[in-house]
Amino acid sequence: LTRPDPAPLRYGAFRTRDAGARVGAAWRDQVLDLAALARRGVLDDVLPDAERILTQPSLNAFMACGPAVWRALHARLRALLDAQEDLPLLAVRDVEPLLPIEIGDFTELYSSREHASNGGRIMRPDGEPLAPNWTHIPVGYHGRSSSVVVSGTDVRRPFGQARDGDVGRPEFRPSRKIDFELELGFVIGVPSERDRPVTHEEALDHVFGVVLLNDWSARDIQAWEARPLGPFLSKAFATSISAWVMPLEDLLHRRVPPADVQDPEPLAYLRGERWAFDIDLQVALRPAGSGEEHVVSETNARYVYWSLEQQIVHLTSGGAMLRTGDLLGSGAISGPSRGSNGSLLELTWNGTEPLQLADGTQRGFLEDGDEVVLRADGLAECRGRVLPARR
Amino acid sequence: LTRPDPAPLRYGAFRTRDAGARVGAAWRDQVLDLAALARRGVLDDVLPDAERILTQPSLNAFMACGPAVWRALHARLRALLDAQEDLPLLAVRDVEPLLPIEIGDFTELYSSREHASNGGRIMRPDGEPLAPNWTHIPVGYHGRSSSVVVSGTDVRRPFGQARDGDVGRPEFRPSRKIDFELELGFVIGVPSERDRPVTHEEALDHVFGVVLLNDWSARDIQAWEARPLGPFLSKAFATSISAWVMPLEDLLHRRVPPADVQDPEPLAYLRGERWAFDIDLQVALRPAGSGEEHVVSETNARYVYWSLEQQIVHLTSGGAMLRTGDLLGSGAISGPSRGSNGSLLELTWNGTEPLQLADGTQRGFLEDGDEVVLRADGLAECRGRVLPARR
């Protein structure tokens, strides 16, 4: 019942050598040019003003139309594909995918208990693994919207302030601890009103779809800069997302009970039906100079403590609002065992226990030239390669 | 030499009962309708495509044109005003100011040493007032762009999780510790390139202008939620900025040496000419039900440790980029004495030493109906009133 769709239909923006940015739908190894389709007039009854909305460099105008329109267009496209009519289909290899959404606010959550606990054990070895607020509040912070890039974009190793031990002066140098974070990214389609909290029942109607998200992190810079206001530049050099957004609608049948119960019981405003996605997740690493990928982590989206509804309810409970294009990262998703962690920080215990890959390569953190690929059942992959620091 | 301009010419966006959003320049008690002026064709030689750029709901298109165009238009407007020609001037009271910029990323800095030290003394009484990184790194974090509102917008008291002491379960309740923060806001006009650090020499060319900024804060929510990833919803319910942006160009003559030296010497990448603005700053409070304003803080923009150039250099030193519309808040600006603090947290020492106003009113934090007005020599005021929490 939670099987992935064998031929998902996912949305994005792209351009080709001969024409500018527009909206498309990726399907098998092809891209349906929705702007071209709209020009034929076959979408106007399901998407008023279709040609204008689909001849845009991002999905935002379409996402703002709301769930009834999303569903109607989706059903129409499925019907057209099923009918095997003559459609404006392009080979995926012939299109250049663009960042599919114009990002509003980028919120990073911290919803995996294992990830938060491991982070605490590593970063604050003398304290409790989890801060006292963690089981009460869906902790989050704001990322830098302009750092979000589309899958396939190279990621340059950043400079930053860091120091080797816990004392002494910092240095300004290329980061020595570049990491990935394996996350789901939830894309907001329908804005909420300022100062009008979203209820559990309404929450999912605001969500257009889901991407894989790699929140690249420079752990040495993070350790030094993050006190007391949280991570800043250590997570602002790049965040990669899938080029194609999977409609939430097509993932709803993959909801299952989460991996653990919430104890203590959440405060009343956070109570409601709780579920998680049963989506297998995988991180593959292709080390510099190698043609071969190695799977370094396998986990599942079930390992999140706070549900999507709880997070949206919390986010809007105190005056903050949602806008079209807002991106909510789940935070790194870690399972209960080593090998199911969503970051190298955890997989190598802050670099002290390097990964041993089958070809003999060792990795504590990422090296220049390494490529990281996030994959998940049904979602579009998210990949990026580490470039050397600028000279 | 650091005297404020007696008749500053500041930029914003506005609408009127009979016409839609457009760009204007506030001057004395009038607003020059720049869209109307552009339609007369008298701006095209200084601002190509003037009519389109000035018939926008924000300054962004104009700000993206860069400093040469900003200066040319500014000089032209000055000349037209000096010539007392027949100009499309409206009374300020007849226009509705809009949020002057479409916000890209909203970065909050932490540049006042006194504010950071006081915060440490209050929030972490057993530790050192300043975290060890503070004198090395211009600490900052990202705020929520969609929380930024124009001066004059009412601010509703948010709900949130908080607890009374340091133990026990939190409650979800209206905040009991609503505070202001007195800040300067720097508005980015010219974007930087991804992965191309901005130098000291280039930094100011990216900055279009300056506003007053009130980073409203819910201190009880902040104390509970901010560990370990920093402030989140406690500072995401509203941030108010002036309706009219003062061009940086008209503030450059007010630069003076900062109030203190940097010790230890900053790392090489942060070294360069260092200065601060000599701008007197004031916070006035009009308590609920009173017609009278009381000045509760007087300070000066000199009391910042990190210069604007240092902050821009740091921000872009590790891969992050600037975009048109980005907003950089200075962080609350506090002087060395009680009475010169930029927040009630400090002025009342977390509510333990309430302010005694001349009319007998006491205030620890803000009450429903209180109005806060930030004022500064030469900058447009920034005001907002606290509404009761929603029922």
- Which pLDDT tens digits describe chain B residue by residue (391 residues)? 678 888 999 999 999 999 999 999 999 999 999 999 999 999 999 999 999 999 999 999 999 999 999 999 999 999 999 998 899 999 999 999 999 999 999 999 999 999 999 999 998 888 899 999 999 999 999 999 999 999 999 999 999 999 988 888 999 999 999 999 999 999 999 999 988 999 999 999 999 999 999 999 999 999 999 988 999 999 999 999 999 999 999 999 999 998 889 999 999 999 998 999 999 999 999 999 988 999 999 999 999 999 999 999 999 999 999 999 999 999 999 999 989 999 999 999 999 999 999 999 999 999 999 999 999 999 999 999 999 999 8
Query: How long, in residues, is chain A?
Result: 391
pLDDT value at residue A6? 86
Q: Is A195 on the interface with B (CB under 8 A)?
A: yes
Q: Measured between CA atoms, how close is B39 to chain A, in angstroms?
A: 27
What integer pLDDT is reported at residue B205 of this predicted model? Answer: 98
Q: How far is the C-alpha of B15 from the C-alpha of B1, rounded, in Å?
A: 36
The answer to whether A141 faces chain B, any CB pair under 8 Å, is yes
Max CA-CA distance within chain B?
69
3-state SS assignment for residue B214: strand
| Residue of A115, A225, A310 to mutate, testing the B interface (most B Cβ within 10 Å of its Cβ) | A225
Residue B147 to residue A314, Cβ atoms within 8 A: no
- Chain B, nearest residue to A192 by Cα: B146
Q: Which residue of B has its CA nearest to A148?
A: B320
Tell me the C-alpha distance between B339 and B187, whole Å: 28
Whether B268 and A172 lie within 8 Å, measured CB to CB: yes
Closest chain A residue to B159, measured at CA: A318
Mean pLDDT in residue range A63-70:
98
pLDDT digit string (tens) for A99-111? 999 999 999 999 9
CA nearest A370: which of A297, A293, A281? Answer: A293
What is the pLDDT at residue B1? Answer: 62
Name the percent of chain A lying above pLDDT 90. Answer: 92
In this prediction, residues A285-300 reach a mean pLDDT of 95
CA B323/CA B330 separation, integer angstroms? 18
* Contact between chains at A105 and B144 (C-beta distance less than 8 A): yes
Q: What is the pLDDT of residue B4?
A: 85
DSSP A135-174: TTS--EEE--GGGEEETT--EEPPEEEE-SSSSS--EEEE
Q: Of A187, A158, A186, A188, which Cα lies nearest the Cα of A174?
A: A158
- Average pLDDT on A326-339 reads 96
d(CA A167, CA B87): 63
pLDDT for B5 equals 86
Q: Indicate the pLDDT class of residue A62, thresholds 50, 70 and 90.
A: very high
Count Cβ–Cβ pairs < 8 Å, chain A vs chain B.
194
Contacts of A160 in chain B (CB under 8 A): 317-318
**Which amino acid, one-letter code, is at B188?**
I
Mean pLDDT of all residues belonging to chain B:
96
Question: Which residue of A99, A102, A157, A161 is the best one to mutate when testing the B interface, meaning the one whose CB has the most B CBs within 10 A?
Answer: A161
Q: What is the pLDDT of residue A378?
A: 93
The pLDDT score that the predictor gives to residue B220 is 96
Over residues A211-252, the pLDDT tens digits come to 999 999 999 999 999 988 999 999 999 999 999 999 999 999
Flag if B159 and A131 touch (Cβ within 8 Å). no
Q: Does B349 touch chain A (CB under 8 A)?
A: no
- Residue B364, chain A, CB below 8 Å: the answer is no
Backbone angle region of B291, left / alpha / beta, with phi > 0 → left and psi within -120 to 50 → alpha: alpha
Considering only residues 34 to 93 of chain B, which have any Cβ-Cβ distance to chain A shorter than 8 Å?
none
Q: What distance lies between CA A252 and its chain's CA centroid?
A: 17
The C-alpha of B157 sits at a distance from chain A's nearest C-alpha, in angstroms, of 8
**B159·A318 Cβ contact <8 A:** yes
Report the Cα A179 to chain-centroid distance in Å. Answer: 15
Report the relative pairing of strands B207-214 and B239-241 from DSSP bridges.
antiparallel
What's phi and psi for B26, nearest 5 deg? -80, 135
> Across the interface, do B232 and A172 touch by the CB < 8 Å criterion?
no
Of residues B27, B50, B25, the one with CA closest to residue B39: B50
B2 at interface of A, judged by CB pairs closer than 8 A? no
pLDDT at A1 over 70: no
Is residue A96 helix, strand or coil? strand
Residue A92, pLDDT above cutoff 80: yes
3-state SS of A99-122? CCCCCCCEEEECCCHHHHHHHHHH
Q: What is the dihedral of CA A140, A149, A374, A100, to 10 degrees?
A: 100
Does B227 sit within 8 Å of A137, measured CB to CB?
A: no
Query: What residues in A contact B317, CB-CB < 8 Å?
Result: 159-160, 172, 233
Residue A86 DSSP SS3: coil
**Mean pLDDT comparison of A183-187, A193-197, B192-196, highest-scoring range:** A183-187
Is residue A295 over pLDDT 70?
yes
> What's the N-to-C CA distance of chain B in angstroms?
52
Suggest the residue from A229, A233, A240 to mutate for an interface test with chain B (most B CBs closer than 10 A): A229
Q: Are B179 and B216 in contact (CB under 8 A)?
A: yes
Q: B141 at the A interface (CB within 8 A)?
A: yes
Interface of B with A in 146-185 (CB under 8 A): 146-147, 156, 158-161, 169-172, 175
Q: State whether the Cα torsion A145-A149-A155-A156 is positive or negative.
A: negative
Q: Tens digits of per-residue pLDDT, A333-365? A: 999 998 999 999 999 999 999 999 999 999 999
Which secondary structure element, helix H or strand E, spans residue B126, and what is its range?
A: none
CA-based torsion, B69, B70, B72, B77: positive or negative: positive
Q: Is B390 in the A-facing interface, judged by CB distances under 8 Å?
A: yes
CB-side neighbour CA atoms (13 Å) of B7: 9
Length of chain B: 391
Q: Is B331 on the interface with A (CB under 8 A)?
A: no
- Left, alpha or beta for B28 (phi > 0: left; psi -120 to 50: alpha)? left
* Contact criterion met (CB below 8 Å) for A66 and A16: no
CB B195 within 8 A of CB B296: no
Average pLDDT, chain A: 96
A116 pLDDT exceeds 90? Answer: yes
Would you state the pLDDT for residue A4? 85
Which H or E element spans position A171? strand A171-174
Q: Give the pLDDT mean for A136-144.
A: 96
User: Rounded to a whole number, what is the distance in Å from the CA of A35 to chain B's nearest CA?
Assistant: 26
Cβ-Cβ contacts under 8 Å, A230 against chain B: 141, 226, 228-231
- Best B229, B237, B310, B326 member to test A by mutation, with max A CBs in 10 Å, is B229
CA A329-A334-A338 angle, to 5 degrees, is: 155
